[in-house]
Amino acid sequence: MSAGSALVSSGPPVASERYGSGSGGGEVWIYRLEEAQLRRQREETAGAGAGAGLLQLFKSVFLPQGFPESVSADYIQYQLWDTAQAFCSSLSGTLATQASLRGVGVGNQEATVAAATATWLLRDGTGMLGRILFAWRKGTKLDSEAKKWRLFADVLNDVAMFMEILAPFFPAFFLLIVCSAGVFKSIVGVAGGATRAALTVHQARRDNMADISAKDGSQETLVNLAGLLVSLLLISLVTENPTLTLLLFSLFTVLHLVSNFKAVRSVVMETFNEARLDVVWQTFVRSGEILTPRDANAKEPVFNWFSGAVPIRLGVKLQELVHSPEELERVTRARQDKRFLIAVDNSCVYVCLLLGASVRDEFESMCQALSLRKLLTQRKKDKHRHWDLVEESKSLLERHFDSFMKSLDETRWETSRNLLDWDEWRIRLKSKSN
């Protein structure tokens, strides 16, 4: 069999093959029988030529194999905005690095290598401690609230770079400022890397997380290379010109934050976290309609770092739920045949899961907790007893939950798993019903 392409195609086609999808501009080849040989010839299509070949090469280098079918529908929009923010961040980082180097004494004949090295080591050391502490305290939140923490990481990164630019103007506090900035950047590394992994899970539609992650790295490297070339031009402009440095940094920061906001807003996740489930559940209770993933993601808050809403704690220890035999008897009687227990006080809603609870039980308990939180918020100034609110939220659940889950099963929402922030405690009640 010859792998070459014939100039004259006289034999009948016996097979054809395509590399990639038709919508993605995949290559199409025809196999023909000619002079007792099987020959392979590329099918001529509109737009074929050197330009199409270069485009295909670019896609194979920087986009996941099987694009666009192998990724989520929001992949391109997210990556374009992510590319824009990475470029702005690269330029801002150049300005911050130049300021840090000037602060540790580069260009100053009176500065010593030992002092500069000590400053750098202290900055790195405090950053390592910050990385460990942040992963310990917030690691479980990064899956369930990937968008919020992705945006948080980029805002904190801009704050850290701004501190590095200002540090040389405060020589007495230079070490404190750069060490604080190092802690912030270490947090950025944890939050940014972890949330990027969570978004990669969402984007991978063929279990191709590694390929998507690798191509994302190639895209980031290309962007950083472009940023490096532009930075070489900027350095000559901003050297010994702090006013221009601050002006350019402000411009790049604004573009960086806008691009990041657009990037996280473009992500349409089909799995439920607390915010998305709250939006969809409250809408269904109010109107009987199920929001699509796109509509719910558009309404999901990403700036609710300090919202002041009553927190919901999931999968807690039993002692956080009840504090006396009377409360235990009441909460177990209220559960009926449910595989969860729920209670509330003025500051928090608590949910305990029983051993053997299913994903559906997790959804059911969370929907009641969301209703309970709304009732508590609405009637906080009234002197309603908490158990009355629990009973009212249970009535709402009984009226709407079954039809809610049935409606979800008919949409694109993922109900076989969720991204709710469950702790690991599970209890067994010593009763005949359990």
pLDDT in tens, the chain (434 residues): 444 444 445 677 888 887 766 554 567 888 888 777 888 887 765 555 566 678 888 888 999 998 889 999 999 999 999 999 999 999 999 888 887 777 655 545 555 667 667 777 888 899 999 999 999 999 888 999 999 999 999 999 999 999 989 988 888 898 899 899 999 999 999 999 999 999 999 999 999 999 999 999 999 999 999 999 999 888 888 887 888 989 999 999 999 999 999 999 999 999 999 999 999 999 999 999 999 999 999 999 988 766 678 899 999 999 998 888 888 888 888 787 899 999 998 789 999 999 999 999 999 999 999 999 999 888 765 656 888 899 999 999 999 999 999 999 888 899 999 999 999 999 998 764 44
CB 365 within 8 A of CB 342: yes
Q: Is 151 exposed, middle or buried (0-12, 13-18, 19+ CB in 10 A)?
A: buried
Could you tell me which of 180, 209, 185, 181 has the C-alpha nearest to residue 72?
209
What pLDDT is attached to residue 26?
63
User: CA torsion angle for 379, 384, 390, 392 (degrees, to 10)?
Assistant: -70
Model confidence, pTM: 0.84
CATH number attached to the domain at 75-266: 1.20.1250
Tokens of 53: 């070949």
What is the predicted pLDDT for the residue at 305? Answer: 67
β-strand partners of 26: none
Q: In the prediction, which pLDDT does 51 show?
A: 64
Residue 370: name the closest of 302, 276, 282, 273 by CA: 282
Rounded CA-CA distance 59/346 in Å is 55
pLDDT score of 98:
82
What is the pLDDT at residue 251?
95
DSSP 46: T
Question: What is the SS3 assignment for 134?
Answer: helix
CA dist 209 → 106, 195, 205, 266 (Å): 42, 14, 8, 19
- Token representation of residue 63: 């986009």
Degrees to nearest 5, angle at CA 378 with 375 and 383: 85
Q: Residue 166 half-sphere exposure, CB side, CA atoms within 13 Å?
A: 12
Written as six digits, the tokens of 39 are 């020959």
In the chain, domain spans: 13-62, 75-266, 274-427
